[in-house]
Chains A and B, each alone.
Chain A
């Protein structure tokens, strides 16, 4: 069960930061039509020098173990991060974060949360896509 190693299963069964925020500075969601994965992310900013630093973040939705585990891990990782750093995150960072071998068809599951997070960050207005 290479892909479903313990850490992935743990994040899938006990997702961190799952839920919604009472108030948020930005939110976004995406839906992978081919498989039915749906992820929404809400963020709250700590403004430092007019730039957003993630203070609070929550994700919600439903999807496969990979997309859910990825969302859980990603939200843990980006707490306290500046949005400029978040925009620099790429597929290889997500794969490194998951630390497991993914078949090509599952890579999209893994990167969906990052796509949503970056969409939310962009909607804040002070970063470029």
Chain B
């Protein structure tokens, strides 16, 4: 009801035949922070052979993540969501699994030896990184990692929690605004999806844009979730290390304009 996963469902979903469970660490729509460690432990208990892949794209940039602690088999995240450049990301996998897996992309440097009759592939990770890599992107991602490390992920999370709490408190005061997802900040990442009664998200975004406020609207690549919640497209605001209370105040002023113009 409050946007949290019903972990009881795992008992029904994970069977002897289940090969892989893929879950998101933090929802990009409703912001729910999922208890990944608990989920992994439960899955392994139900079926030790079932693999777990975690989409950590909304987690790694915003909270301290320890892949060993999570115990998942694969973890994926994107560079452009963590102050890095586009076109670069990371798929972390357990070494023993990667060693077993065949390459999917062939090209330079993923081989050890190539003969007409046979090929010996390179070791992990080169086996999966054929061709000239996105060098500039990788260097950029490294710089982003260094920067975030300097800030400290606990500080990053603390700031984001404060911004989210401030936004939740003030947004929920605005007439006609419905916030989707947990109201408890500790359960939530720095993203808030909401609807404005009687006003289409596109129009909200357009007017906010004129005030230099950029939000995303639509289904956020999660149309099934919106259908499950019986809602149409939503507006979404998100926060990061650079967000200030003034930004949120400006949003509230702009939302008032939206209601006056189109309400």
Contacts from A to B (Cβ < 8 Å) = 1, 3-4, 9, 12, 33-37, 62-66, 103, 106, 109
Shortest distance between the CB of B195 and any CB in chain A (Å): 11
Is the Cβ of A35 less than 8 Å from the Cβ of B261? no
Inter-chain contacts of A9 with B (CB < 8 A) = 261-262
Question: Would you list the 7 A-B pairs with minimal beta carbon distance, nearest first?
Answer: A64-B200, A64-B202, A36-B233, A36-B232, A65-B203, A64-B203, A35-B202
Instruction: Give bound CA distance, A103 to B206, whole Å.
Output: 9
Is the Cβ of B202 less than 8 Å from the Cβ of A109? yes
Inter-chain contacts of A4 with B (CB < 8 A) = 203, 206-207, 261-262
Chain B binding surface SS class: helix
Shortest distance between the CB of A122 and any CB in chain B (Å): 27
Contacts A/B (CB < 8 Å), 12 sampled: A1-B207, A4-B203, A34-B219, A35-B218, A35-B233, A36-B232, A36-B233, A64-B200, A64-B202, A64-B203, A65-B262, A106-B206
Chain B's interface size range is 10 to 19
Instruction: Give bound CA distance, A103 to B217, whole Å.
Output: 15
Instruction: Give bound CA distance, A37 to B201, whole Å.
Output: 10
| Residue among A12, A35, A63, A66 making CB contact with B217, cutoff 8 Å | A35
Inter-chain contacts of A3 with B (CB < 8 A) = 206
Instruction: Give bound CA distance, A3 to B262, whole Å.
Output: 12
Is the Cβ of A65 less than 8 Å from the Cβ of B218? no
Instruction: Give bound CA distance, A64 to B261, whole Å.
Output: 13
User: Apart from A4-B262, A9-B262, A35-B200, what 13 extra A-B contacts exist at CB < 8 Å?
Assistant: A1-B210, A1-B261, A4-B261, A33-B219, A34-B218, A35-B217, A35-B233, A36-B232, A63-B200, A64-B202, A65-B202, A65-B203, A106-B202
Inter-chain contacts of B219 with A (CB < 8 A) = 33-34, 36
| Residue among A1, A33, A62 making CB contact with B223, cutoff 8 Å | A33
Chain A binding surface SS class: loop
Instruction: Give bound CA distance, A109 to B218, whole Å.
Output: 13
Contacts from B to A (Cβ < 8 Å) = 200-203, 206-207, 210, 217-219, 223, 232-233, 261-262
Among A33, A62, A64, A103, the most chain B Cβ lie within 10 Å of the Cβ of A64
| Residue among B202, B207, B233 making CB contact with A66, cutoff 8 Å | B202
Which A residue sits closest to B232, measured CB to CB?
A: A36
Which A residue sits closest to B223, measured CB to CB?
A: A33
Instruction: Give bound CA distance, A9 to B258, whole Å.
Output: 12
Is the Cβ of A12 less than 8 Å from the Cβ of B202? no
Shortest distance between the CB of A40 and any CB in chain B (Å): 16
Inter-chain contacts of B206 with A (CB < 8 A) = 3-4, 103, 106
Inter-chain contacts of B262 with A (CB < 8 A) = 4, 9, 12, 65
Which A residue sits closest to B234, measured CB to CB?
A: A36
Instruction: Give bound CA distance, A64 to B207, whole Å.
Output: 12
Instruction: Give bound CA distance, A9 to B263, whole Å.
Output: 11
Instruction: Give bound CA distance, A121 to B145, whole Å.
Output: 57
Among A34, A36, A66, A103, the most chain B Cβ lie within 10 Å of the Cβ of A36
Inter-chain contacts of A103 with B (CB < 8 A) = 206
Shortest distance between the CB of B173 and any CB in chain A (Å): 25
Shortest distance between the CB of B46 and any CB in chain A (Å): 36
Shortest distance between the CB of A101 and any CB in chain B (Å): 11
Instruction: Give bound CA distance, A12 to B202, whole Å.
Output: 14
Instruction: Give bound CA distance, A99 to B218, whole Å.
Output: 26
Instruction: Give bound CA distance, A121 to B117, whole Å.
Output: 63
